[in-house]
Amino acid sequence: MQIQISGHQIEVTQALRDHVQTRLAKLDKYFDNVTSLAVVLSVEKVVHRAEATLSVAGRTLHAEATDGDMYASVDALLDKLVAQLRKHKEKVTAHHREEGRELRAE
């Protein structure tokens, strides 16, 4: 997975870059077909915002999180992306097809 990190009205320090990469690299364990991830970090007065666009096989997922601390907003962003990936994975695997076959067999 390629991770692209950029800042808007903020300088992305090496410590912040490392935190984002280590936290968001965990997305690979939830879904195998993650191709790229673009993260934009921005600051508006006291609001720290983290936005991410995640490209997976067949879909593009987008999430954003705001908080008073940049590290907390990155962690909240990870939670939102994990929830979206789990939902997408359930749609792709389509467990409901098996239930339909059992009903028709009876």
Name every residue whose Cβ is closer than 8 Å to that of residue 18 and which is 6 or more positions away in sequence. none
**Residue boundaries of the structural domains of the chain:** 2-105
User: Could you give the residue ranges of the DSSP H alpha helices within 1-106?
Assistant: 14-24, 70-93, 96-105
Q: Provide the CB-side half-sphere exposure for 8 (13 A, CA).
A: 13
- Tally of CB atoms within 10 A around 13: 11
pLDDT in tens, 16-74: 999 999 998 888 888 888 889 999 999 999 999 999 999 998 889 999 999 999 999 99
What count of other Cβ atoms lies within 10 Å of the Cβ of residue 39?
21
| CATH architecture of residue range(s) 2-105 | 2-Layer Sandwich (3.30)
Mapping DSSP to helix (H, G, I), strand (E, B) and coil, where does residue 51 land? strand
